[in-house]
A and B are shown apart, each in its own frame.
Chain A
Amino acid sequence: MDSSFRKMLTRKILFLLYLPLLLWSCTDIVELELPEQEPQLVVNSMFTPDSAWSVDISASQNALSNAPYEQVQNATVEVYQGSKYLFNLAHTRNGKYKSEEALPKALEHYTLKVSAPGFPACEASNFAPALPATRALKVARASSSIDPNIPEAEVSFVLDDAPNTQNYYAISAYFPDTAYTGEAYKNYVGLDFQAPIEQEFTMGNSYFFSDKLIDGKATTLKQRYTLIEGKTVYLNIAQISPDYYHYARTLVKQSYNDNFMTTPGPVHNNIRNGLGIFAGYNTVTYHIKH
């Protein structure tokens, strides 16, 4: 279902729901105070076997505050493998804590313990899944269904989903670019999912889906993107931990909830006694030269 169609449907349904509001409503700014909440540690960290540990630590604030987030620079960040202490992460700059050389391992369960003066201590546990089992990558030239003059690349590969477990994936694609300011950056391309499944949601330029429809099966997945002649496109296929999937899903849902009558939903949080996300992923990257 293309996005314009979805938007149109959304607009119509919400129009009906809002009909009385459109007829008579008025909006007032009300000077209401929210009760003060004690700040908590906010821990945001994604880890993967091919990158060093990196943790961002900040403080939560009143919902009405618009001040920049306070980055916590004096925290103690300990990494455990199971119950075994491994090492502390060092503060590098502005609330970022990193390891020097140590890399996470796939399928190992790690625990992060964070404490800082003035905040309740918190901790979280997670793991990086195995590399996604992909094979038989094929790239073919195609043309856009909207405009035959626009060339597209159709990428297909087989994903062997592991049976009897709930697996989650995220796909993104980019090519290195410097076109805007001369600074090197990753220029992410929009992906058009083909049958048999669509993405369930997107966050940023990542496309998320679960194995609900392909559980335990070998499935050929196809994506299309606008062909960029002469560029190398990097296709990232990541298997992500359930916590990361649920965090991204609920964060997107909370942020883009356009139905005022729906009770707002909480964002998934796996930090005990704190807020944020500590989750692992594991990525296969294909280089596609055009």
Chain B
Amino acid sequence: MRRLYLVLLLALASSSYTALAQVTVSGFVQDARSGERLAGAMVSAGVTGTTTNTYGFYSLRVPSGALQVQVRYLGYTPLSFSAPTLRRDTLITLQLQPLENELREVTVTAEKVTDLQQANRLSMRSAELKQLPRLMGEADAVKALQLMPGVQAGREGSSDMHVRGGGPDQNLILLDGVPVYNVSHLLGMFSVFNPDAIKNVDLVKGGFPAPYGGRLSSIMDVQLKEGNNQQFSGEGAVGLISSKLLLEGPIRNEKTSYLVAARRTYLDALAAAAAALNGEKMSNYNFYDINTKINHTFSATDRLYLSVYGGQDKFSDKDEYAGQNQQEEQQFKMRWGNATSALRWNHIFGPRLFSNLTLTHSRYSFSQDTESSTIQSENKTQRQTEYSSSIKDWGAKADFDFAATARHSIRFGGSYTYHNFSPESTTLRTDTLTLTSDSFSTIRAHEFYTYADDRLQLSERLQATIGLHFSGFAVNGAFYTSLQPRLALGYTSAKGISIRASYATMAQYLHLLSNTSTGTPTDIWVPATDKVKPQRSWQTTLGAAASLAQNKLELTSDLYYKEMQDVAEFKDGGDFIGDFIRSGPETNFANFAAPPYETRIASGKGWSYGWETMLRKRQGRTTGWLAYTLAWSWRQLDSINHNQKYPYTYDSRHSIALVANHQLNERWSLGSSWVYRTGFATTLPLTRYKALEDPTAYRPGTYSPTIETADYLGERNNYRMPSYHRLDLSLTHTKKKNWGERSWNLSVYNAYNHKNPYYLYLSSTGSSTSSPRRLYQKSLFPVLPSVSYGFKF
């Protein structure tokens, strides 16, 4: 039986015979081949339906008696299962068979787009993101989400996300439920998520369900595969600058499985080869990341997972100089990376109550080490500077799903996180001196939340989710709390059009301080303190969704309005790195060059509003989406722009993304994406004027560098960069082999070589009229072809 597959039926006499003629059917939905549990699968029985939770668990209250269960999940053959007459609560594990041939037009939607739970949510499976054209041969989850409505990428190539006008720090990025603080490899060209190890990516950008909190603008939930518990398998790829390998399989029996995925770039090897060829020393850069996961099923009701991630970027450089009387050597090292781990225990207390207990650890660290030595007249002097910044979290959380009645589904839980911030630590060592400065001393903070929500099926057409999220943060004697109501209401018309509205408030107790306008490892995470308030926001949305063309197409359209309070930025002219470099060894760096961050930042409010719409096709020979966003985003911060409002740097009025993938036949497939957006806002001087003459600069007969001109900047972000647009293409050839499958992917990034603005700058002022001052545009990526070889077994 190719289409429908039912492998396991396990009935537990877990509850007494029900006299109310209602029974609970619960269990897991999983992949028949790998045993992967499937989140977001639709399970229905008659008029009652639900979707599996993050862990693939479902629970349905149904009338006792004969039962017809339907299960649908994108990329899998729909399952229709006739259960025998049920007279008691029953646990059923449902196994779905992956579609052998996705060329068939099958009208299966993964998560029903008209369901209220799908409002303000973007979902992507691993297979979908791998269909997209690749930058340097590497598929990327963050880059894929940047093509979605309401999500602005930062500067070209970056892994920043600006969701509905929010900042990059306002996204809670979870890897198997653990926060990741910096998701960038190679300054954002790649994210830290190995696409082979990913099972699903969800991005929630509004109408936040009660379990979510801690950030203002979005929750990006990256779920990794669990590991194939049926058979040993693997996949990998060799690209232009990196390669990767994933292995997974059962241990002894199908109760235990593992997954190991590793990726490494070989830019350092390429640089070494280039250095050997041209005889010059070159800088050294590499990154790697490793995901490991192991899980064990103790019983039908208990499963334990251990998930560990580690990744690091390293950059180093060395200069040597040998003169007649002097030798110098300078070494520079910079490294940054994340490490996360999660120990998760799924337990089913009964057919109606599912629990997940997770212990988490997350660490992000950045360090920089500079050593110089000088030998002069047989005297050797040495100097070493170390700088580091880190954030470490330890946490525990418990989540419960309770199927109260056929119409009520209740979630509740709580979390506690212990934060340890070391925003900046500097040590200077010379032959005679050691200075250590913790300009921001280590800050310990305690964060917690508790939540509950009720998903109500008020009638056949009317759904609601009513929830509360309560959070608190204790730091330096200050204690902040936030009570956050979460409301969502959805009505589905007889024609299948869903109208939904939501309201949510959020609080964020962390700030990301950056002296740059794009994410770099030098950005530092700092907590709210007694002097710097937490960020808070509220957002309301109104939207509609419908399935069209016999459910082949999904159409969504949403209006949103969001207000953010106490967002923080460095004050004008803040230059974190520059301050550090300019500070002297004899200077008390803590008190002088880098006073407490509370005194260096400006706080204020932001607000954004807009309209997003997307037409999406997720299955069949041709898949893809067309997305359009019309948006405004503003900021108003004390002491910036004369306290007047100004457009957010990544404010972009119009954004369009057209993504199309087409399976030509069993071997060949084409992929393409075209993006257009209004240029970002930037600050350019509009006026120049004469600077004060420096009386100490004059020296006849010599050139004395003097400042003759000052630029008047006017309003912040007073200029629009030219529009950005880009076409990416890919062609994939896949061939079955006796050992598995291999594929070649040819991708072309920026296919028509459009020179998109990375940043604009004015040339220096000069006194000669023969070299007029010009406005320049720096572009990053020209047309970039890449090829990668992939294999699966």
Contacts and interface: CB of A to CB of B under 8 A. Distances in A.
A181 B701 contact: yes
Interface stretch (A79-87, A115-123, A195-203): A195-203
A51 B755 CA distance: 55
A101 interface: no
Nearest to A38: B687
A21 to B, nearest CB: 7
A30 to B, nearest CB: 4
A28 B775 contact: no
B370 interface: yes
B773 A24 contact: no
Interface in B625-673: 649
A267 B516 CA distance: 19
B579 to A, nearest CB: 10
B157 A261 contact: no
B769 A66 contact: yes
Given A29-B776, A66-B773, A187 B699 contact: yes
Interface in B368-406: 368, 370, 372, 376, 383, 385
B332 interface: yes
A263 interface: yes
A8 B710 CA distance: 27
Interface string B683-698: 1111111111111111
Given A12-B332, A62-B687, A212-B591, A27 B776 contact: yes
A27 B719 CA distance: 19
Contacts of B760: 30, 32
B690 A21 contact: no
B578 A201 contact: no
A63 B385 contact: no
A40 interface: yes
Contact of B186 (A20, A61, A64, A205): A20
A276 interface: yes
B604 interface: no
A46 B692 contact: yes
Interface in B568-594: 572-575, 577-578, 581-588, 591-592
B700 A63 contact: no
B782 interface: yes
B674 interface: no
A265 B686 contact: no
B777 interface: yes
A20 B586 contact: no
A61 B711 CA distance: 10
A69 B782 contact: no
A9 B581 contact: yes
A71 B683 CA distance: 27
Interface string A26-41: 1111101011010010
Nearest to B755: A28
A74 interface: no
B187 interface: yes
Interface in B160-188: 186-187
A131 interface: no
Contact of A44 (B285, B334, B692): B692
A250 B516 contact: no
B438 to A, nearest CB: 17
A150 to B, nearest CB: 13
A259 B516 contact: yes
Contacts of A176: none
A232 interface: no
Contacts of A58: 689-690
B303 to A, nearest CB: 42
Contact of B689 (A34, A198, A257, A276): A276
Contacts of A19: 186-187, 283, 285, 315
Given A21-B758, A65-B688, A197-B586, A204 B704 contact: yes
A186 B516 CA distance: 40
Interface string A179-200: 0110101111000011111101
B233 interface: no
A64 B575 contact: no
Contacts of B762: 63-64
Contact of B711 (A9, A24, A247, A254): A254
Contacts of A24: 780-782, 784
A32 B776 CA distance: 9
A42 B690 contact: yes
Contacts of B575: 253, 257, 259, 262
B157 A254 contact: no
A140 interface: no
A193 B583 CA distance: 13
A10 B581 contact: yes
Contacts of A260: 759, 761, 778
B474 interface: no
A15 interface: yes
A40 B92 CA distance: 79
Contact of B572 (A9, A198, A266, A276): A266
Interface string A147-189: 0000000000000000000000000101000001101011110
Contacts of B755: 26, 28
B104 to A, nearest CB: 41
B517 interface: yes
B687 A61 contact: yes
Interface in A254-290: 254-255, 257, 259-267, 269, 275-277
A26 to B, nearest CB: 5
A201 B689 contact: no
B762 to A, nearest CB: 6
Contacts of B722: 30, 32
Contacts of B518: 261
A146 interface: yes
A136 interface: no
B696 A37 contact: no
A266 B573 contact: yes
B441 to A, nearest CB: 19
A259 B577 contact: yes
Given A9-B370, A264-B713, A28 B688 contact: no
A63 B691 contact: no
A60 B517 contact: no
Contacts of B701: 180-181
A262 B516 contact: yes
Contacts of B704: 204
Contact of B520 (A8, A17, A186, A204): A17
A192 to B, nearest CB: 11
Given A5-B372, A21-B780, A27-B779, A181 B684 contact: no
B770 to A, nearest CB: 9
A257 B771 CA distance: 21
Contact of B592 (A20, A213, A265): A213
A60 B689 contact: yes
Nearest to A60: B689
Given A262-B515, A262-B575, A146 B775 contact: no
Contacts of A196: 586
A238 to B, nearest CB: 11
A20 B583 CA distance: 28
Contacts of B771: 66
17 contacts: A16-B315, A16-B334, A19-B315, A62-B687, A66-B768, A69-B690, A181-B700, A198-B587, A204-B696, A250-B573, A251-B692, A253-B573, A253-B578, A254-B711, A259-B575, A263-B517, A265-B572
Pairs of residues from A and B, 9 with the lowest C-beta to C-beta distance, nearest first: A265-B573, A180-B701, A261-B516, A204-B694, A198-B584, A205-B696, A204-B697, A12-B332, A60-B689
Given A32-B760, A259-B516, 12 more contacts: A8-B372, A10-B578, A13-B522, A19-B283, A21-B758, A28-B776, A30-B777, A61-B689, A62-B686, A64-B775, A198-B586, A266-B573
Interface of A: 1, 5-6, 8-10, 12-13, 15-17, 19-21, 24-30, 32, 34-35, 37, 40, 42, 44, 46, 56, 58-67, 69, 146, 172, 174, 180-181, 183, 185-188, 193-198, 200-201, 203-206, 212-213, 247, 250-255, 257, 259-267, 269, 275-277
